[in-house]
Amino acid sequence: MLLALVLAGTPEAEQQLGFARSLDGDGDYYRAIGEYKRFLYLYPDSPLADEARLAIGRAYVHGEQPDAAEAHFLSLAELSPEWQARALLETGWARYSAGRSQAAIFSLQSFLRQYGARDAADADRARYLLGWALLTEDKSEAAVGAFAAVASLPEKGQLTEAAKNWRSLPRKSPLLAGLLSVVPGAGHLYIGEPLVGLAALGWNGLFSFALYESIRRDQVGVAVLLGALELIWYTGTIFGAVSGAQKYNRDVRLQALDGLRTRFNDRPETWPPSPTSR
Amino acid sequence: MLFLLAAVASLTLTASPPPFGNAHHPVTREVSPSTPVQREVPAGDFLLVAYGFYRTVVTPIDGPRCSHRPTCSAYAREAISRYGVVGFWLAYDRLLRDAHSSSVRQLPVALRQGRIVFLDPLEESTFWFP
């Protein structure tokens, strides 16, 4: 009688996992992880257990806990050789999704080197993710190669073309910006910030004039103080122009990436990529 | 009996939460965030004194005028404590800037204490450092 009551209170495996999926779909990732773990505790040998294991790692990523996701995938790699391959691919996906493109490139290249010939769909997903990670890191030529190597993708041509055109995006030379800033403000004018350049010119002009006047009047103490300050402003203006050029280059590429991401699913969880996946 | 129950309840709610949370401190994250790294300027540093003076004397008189977050003074303090001389350049560059990261992109905005502020952390300008 007691056993019957206990069994009656145990949720069915499918229902249990369905509840976890539902929480996951609602964006309640932390409770979803708990429910996936409960499922694995109750039904460790279920055919659906692998799905729950994978979903835990993905929910960590969606819940913005990439470190926990990586640790989870690392623990899955110890389960079997199949999981070793899967965990490496998912780690690459997790790293890219968390904005760690450089680390993602490392994982995905490792995956392709070790398991690239094992499963065509997984290899294509890895190459696709690798292309996006390389593009994020401004390595457009390598990205062209990665996208071109994807075997089954209708949008391959568009993505390869976008990666090929990456080099033609506007770019400002940090070196030239720094050199032009020998005349305060000219470097900022070059990077498209005329108002900042004008402010830098005025500020440096004001301190230079005050320094000149203090030297002319033999006010050594004031001259030393003004000279020290002007040195900071002057070198700071050069630094600001170099930094501004770096920001300009990054922002132009970020905008281009955002434009591509609105058209394509850049972090697919399945293959081929679905426009509706998260 | 009621008094006893109330005493137990209040004791439960005021006690520090166990790792799995309680009614007063529910768990909202699966893993607690790591402790933030403290990057304090060494005590007695001239810049720390100057920053303290600015924050406790000048700012209350002048009012919260900075439209960036972190504020320019906090930004300068962190920049100098982390990068030394380069921190001065970063602070000067910050003072010259407005709502733009570059000519093609605006800084992200947030609402803080009823004011719209521009989010411009130090990493926004140091991402390209080797």
Asked, as a colleague might, if the bond just before A275 is cis with ω within 30 of 0, I would say no
Chain segment B105-128, per-residue pLDDT in tens: 999 999 988 889 999 999 999 999
Statement to judge: residues A163 and A206 lie in one domain: no
pLDDT band for position B10 (cuts 50, 70, 90): low
pLDDT exceeds cutoff 80 at B8: no
Chain segment B70-104, per-residue pLDDT in tens: 999 999 999 998 998 899 999 999 998 888 999 99
- Phi first, then psi, for residue B102 (nearest 5°) are -150, -175
Statement to judge: residues A156 and A194 lie in one domain: no
Statement to judge: residues A179 and A256 lie in one domain: yes
Q: Is A234 part of the contact surface with chain B (CB cutoff 8 Å)? A: no
Range of the domain at A93: 88-168
Residues of chain A above pLDDT 70, percent: 95
The C-alpha of B96 sits at a distance from chain A's nearest C-alpha, in angstroms, of 6
**When comparing pLDDT for A21 and B19, which is higher?**
A21
The C-alpha of A28 sits at a distance from chain B's nearest C-alpha, in angstroms, of 10
CA dist., res. A160 & res. A142, Å (int): 10
Q: Is A36 part of the contact surface with chain B (CB cutoff 8 Å)? A: no
Statement to judge: residues A199 and A254 lie in one domain: yes
8-state DSSP, A63: T
User: Has residue A273 been placed in a domain?
Assistant: no
Mean pLDDT of chain B: 77
Model ipTM value:
0.74
Encoded tokens for A102: 């450089």
Domain end among A168, A195, A220: A168
Q: Is B97 part of the contact surface with chain A (CB cutoff 8 Å)? A: yes
Statement to judge: residues A206 and A247 lie in one domain: yes
CA dist., res. A56 & res. A198, Å (int): 54
Statement to judge: residues A234 and A181 lie in one domain: yes
CA dist., res. A91 & res. A96, Å (int): 8
Statement to judge: residues A95 and A34 lie in one domain: no
8-state DSSP, A165: G
Domain end among A168, A184, A211: A168
User: Has residue A72 been placed in a domain?
Assistant: no
Statement to judge: residues A101 and A119 lie in one domain: yes
Secondary-structure breakdown of chain A: helix, strand, coil percentages, each rounded to the nearest 5: 75, 0, 25
The enclosing domain of A25 has a CATH number of 1.20.58
User: Has residue A147 been placed in a domain?
Assistant: yes
Cα separations in angstroms, A86 against A73, A90, B118: 9, 6, 41
Closest CA to B73 of A61, B90, B105, A104: B90
- Phi first, then psi, for residue B52 (nearest 5°) are -60, -40
Q: What pLDDT does residue A277 have? A: 46
Domain count, chain A: 3
User: Has residue A60 been placed in a domain?
Assistant: yes
A107-130 mean pLDDT: 92
The C-alpha of A149 sits at a distance from chain B's nearest C-alpha, in angstroms, of 30
Closest CA to A278 of A16, A20, A27, A23: A27
- Phi first, then psi, for residue B109 (nearest 5°) are -110, 160
User: Has residue A56 been placed in a domain?
Assistant: yes
Reduced to 3 states, what is the DSSP secondary structure of residue A99? coil
User: Has residue A274 been placed in a domain?
Assistant: no
Q: Is A235 part of the contact surface with chain B (CB cutoff 8 Å)? A: yes
Containing A16, the helix (H) or strand (E) segment is helix A13-25
Statement to judge: residues A148 and A207 lie in one domain: no
B2-18 mean pLDDT: 55
Q: Which one of A192, A232, A251 has the shortest CB-CB distance to B88? A: A232
pLDDT band for position A171 (cuts 50, 70, 90): very high
Statement to judge: residues A127 and A55 lie in one domain: no
What chain B residue is nearest to A69 in terms of C-alpha separation? Answer: B31
Domain end among A32, A49, A64: A64
Residues of chain A above pLDDT 90, percent: 80
Give the CA-trace dihedral at A250, A252, A253, A259, to 10 degrees. Answer: 140
**Which of A32-36, A117-121, A169-173 is least confident?**
A117-121
- Characterize the bridge pairing of strands B68-69 and B115-119: parallel
**Which residues are CB-contacts of B81 (< 8 A; sequence separation ≥ 6)?**
B39, B40, B41, B47, B87
The amino acid that residue A271 corresponds to is W
CA dist., res. A136 & res. A117, Å (int): 26
Residues of chain B above pLDDT 90, percent: 34
User: Has residue A114 been placed in a domain?
Assistant: yes
Statement to judge: residues A184 and A134 lie in one domain: no
The enclosing domain of A116 has a CATH number of 1.25.40
User: Has residue A69 been placed in a domain?
Assistant: no
Total count of residues recorded for chain B? 130
A186-210 mean pLDDT: 95
Q: What pLDDT does residue A11 have? A: 58
A3-7, A10-14, A155-159, B88-92: which is most confident: B88-92
CA dist., res. A225 & res. A91, Å (int): 55
